[in-house]
Amino acid sequence: MSERFGEGAPDLFLLDIRLPGGRSGVELLHLLRDFGLTDEVPAVALTTYAGPGGREALLEEGFDEYVSKPFLREELIGAFESALPRETPLR
């Protein structure tokens, strides 16, 4: 793991699919994975684009879970719990 994250890797990435400047959360996830910095860090996609097949497409891109906006707190927590290894407590 790179020291770029300070004391250790983050527990999880929550990436919005539409980012400012024309980039996407998918591109950011690919950059992080390509550099080998975050292979073991789960990622949750957050998006307003909830069309047919959207969830499956994001999972194929490397996300571990998906949450569509607007969402309930329980939906977001459920995605975190599903994506995180069982031994990682939610803080």
What CATH number did the domain enclosing 78 receive?
Answer: 3.40.50.2300
Helices (H), 1-91: 25-34, 54-60, 73-83
For residues 9 and 20, the model is more confident at 20
Residue 70 belongs to a domain:
yes
Does some domain include residue 88?
A: no
Q: What is the mean pLDDT of the chain?
A: 84
Q: What is the largest CA-CA distance in the chain?
A: 40
Binned at pLDDT 50, 70 and 90, residue 1 comes out as: very low
pLDDT at 46 over 90: yes
**Contact by Cβ (8 Å): 88, 11:** yes
* pTM for the structure as a whole: 0.81
* 7 domain-assigned: yes
**For residue 89, is it within any domain?**
no
- How many domains does the structure of the chain reveal? 1
